[in-house]
């Protein structure tokens, strides 16, 4: 009996080792496959009259124009079909100067918070939805300033009081896009930035995005919000950090990317609910895609942070380090191609465009691929299986 039991035990160990070996071989094959840069994108066809969108599988191909970003969305529900921006096209043929002539350099940021209507009066030429283009020359950059938002009206008024005159002096064709996540879902900054970028291109032919936290105010108008050759970290030196860069692998606060760059890296990850982690994940995506994060000098890239308490629904994400450590396994499948959200409202308010959205957290966290399911045969050996989703 003892001999028979020992034989059975050895057989089980042998079977386990064979299965483990197969898992390792499969993992290595997939690892090599994905590291060659293949990306499978879930795209959506244009919404039907009812607002629903059917989906199909496509392949990532970086081309000029807004089309790829608009098509790279996952499931999007839009109750308002064919929303048109009330903005006047710029028909000027003469390009604006390479260096805007009205820049003043170092600024003392406004601390008062005028009403949005007052902001418009203070900035002649501003169109509904917070859009502007220079009246006497053609802007060199068409820029969507995307602000992730929830319940920070005071800060938004202060920020726009500072931003609008600065961006006008920089002679940009720009619009302010405020993306608000409806309660009670935990705040997801990265996903709101993805949504803002995609939806902005449905309104205007923007060439690049400025992703802008609502509590950071620039202190120098020579910190240009133009389209960068490489991804640009704008808010390098912030007062609360003693005007020092916390660490090199950070890409948060205020950043700039061309739309082609944003598309090529699959945008931001969507799984970061709560505070922290998405900036480091994004920096890794950029460098892994053979792009370089650029930064300006101390006297230019300075920002002041507006004081505030911790927001409701934005507590530190307990899973942020786990997500950061597994960013590479999710890069090609967590981002623009896995977006799922519902647009509640699009409004062209006096000083900005407001997009209100809802997100189903459970749905976003459950998005997985066949690869992850295969690897989870031996969960203790693969970090991508930890936490129940990847």
Catalytic residue list contains 354: no
Among candidate residues 279, 281, 332, 334, the one labeled active-site is 279
Is-catalytic flag, 247?
A: no
Q: Are 313 and 150 within 8 A, CB to CB?
A: yes
Q: Is 31 a catalytic residue?
A: no
275 among known catalytic residues: yes
Residue 221 is among the residues annotated as catalytic for this protein: no
- Active site annotation includes 215: yes
User: Which of these is catalytic: 215, 221, 280, 281?
Assistant: 215
Based on the number of CB atoms within 10 Å of its own CB, is 317 exposed (0-12), middle (13-18) or buried (19 or more)?
A: buried
Residue in 118, 186, 275, 315 annotated catalytic: 275
> Measured between alpha carbons, how far is 350 from 355 in angstroms, rounded to an integer?
14
Q: Are 343 and 357 in contact (CB under 8 A)?
A: yes
- Residue 223, classified by CB atoms within 10 Å of its CB into exposed (0-12), middle (13-18) or buried (19+), is buried
Given the residues 71, 180, 199, 213, select the one marked as catalytic: 213
Confirm whether 305 is a catalytic residue: yes
The residue annotated as part of the active site, out of 249, 260, 296, 305, is 305
* Residue among 112, 309, 310, 362 flagged as catalytic: 310
Q: How far is CA 87 from the centre of its chain?
A: 24
What is the rounded distance in angstroms from the CA atom of residue 256 to the CA atom of residue 212? 9
- Count of Cβ atoms closer than 10 Å to residue 372 Cβ: 19
Omega of the bond leading into 184 within 30 degrees of 0 (cis) = yes
- Which among 117, 308, 311, 373 is annotated as catalytic? 308
Residue 103 CB-density burial (10 A; 0-12 exposed, 13-18 middle, 19+ buried): middle
The reply to whether 112 belongs to the active site is: no
Catalytic-labelled residue, pool 199, 278, 281, 332: 278
The DSSP bridge partners found for residue 355 are 179, 346
Which residues are the active-site residues?
213, 215, 275, 278-279, 305, 308, 310
């Amino acid at each position: 009996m003892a001999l028979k039991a020992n034989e059975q035990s050895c057989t089980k160990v042998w079977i386990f080792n064979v299965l483990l070996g197969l898992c390792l071989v499969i993992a290595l094959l997939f690892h090599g496959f994905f590291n060659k840069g293949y990306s499978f994108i879930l795209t959506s066809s244009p919404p039907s009259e009812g607002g629903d969108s059917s989906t199909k599988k496509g392949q990532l191909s970086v081309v000029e124009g807004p089309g790829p970003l608009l098509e790279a969305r996952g499931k999007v529900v839009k109750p308002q079909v064919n929303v048109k921006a009330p903005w006047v096209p710029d028909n000027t043929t003469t390009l604006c100067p390479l260096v805007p002539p009205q820049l003043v350099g170092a600024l003392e940021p406004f601390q008062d918070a005028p009403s949005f209507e007052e902001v418009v009066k203070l900035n002649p030429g501003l169109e509904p939805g917070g859009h502007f283009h220079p009246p006497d020359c053609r802007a060199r950059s068409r820029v969507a300033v995307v602000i992730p938002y929830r319940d920070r009206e005071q800060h938004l008024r202060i920020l726009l009081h500072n931003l609008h005159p600065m961006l006008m002096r920089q002679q940009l064709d720009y619009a302010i896009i405020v993306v608000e996540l409806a309660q009670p879902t935990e705040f997801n900054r990265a996903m709101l930035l993805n949504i803002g970028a995609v939806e902005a291109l449905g309104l205007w032919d923007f060439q690049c995005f400025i992703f802008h936290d609502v509590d950071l105010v620039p202190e120098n108008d020579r910190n240009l919000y133009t389209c960068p050759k490489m991804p640009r970290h704008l808010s390098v030196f912030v007062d609360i950090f003693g005007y020092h860069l916390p660490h090199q692998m950070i890409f948060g606060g205020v950043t700039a990317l061309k739309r082609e760059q944003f598309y090529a890296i699959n945008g931001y990850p969507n799984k970061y609910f709560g505070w922290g982690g998405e900036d480091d994940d994004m920096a890794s995506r950029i460098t892994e895609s053979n792009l370089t994060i650029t930064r300006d000098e101390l006297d230019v890239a300075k920002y002041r942070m507006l004081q505030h308490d911790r927001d409701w629904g934005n507590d530190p994400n307990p899973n942020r380090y786990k997500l950061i450590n597994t960013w590479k396994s999710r890069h090609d499948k967590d981002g623009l191609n896995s977006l799922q959200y519902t647009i509640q409202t699009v409004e062209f308010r006096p000083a900005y465009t407001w997009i209100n959205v809802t997100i189903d957290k459970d749905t976003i966290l459950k998005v997985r691929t066949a690869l992850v399911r295969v690897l989870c045969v031996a969960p203790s050996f693969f970090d991508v299986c930890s936490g129940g989703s990847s």
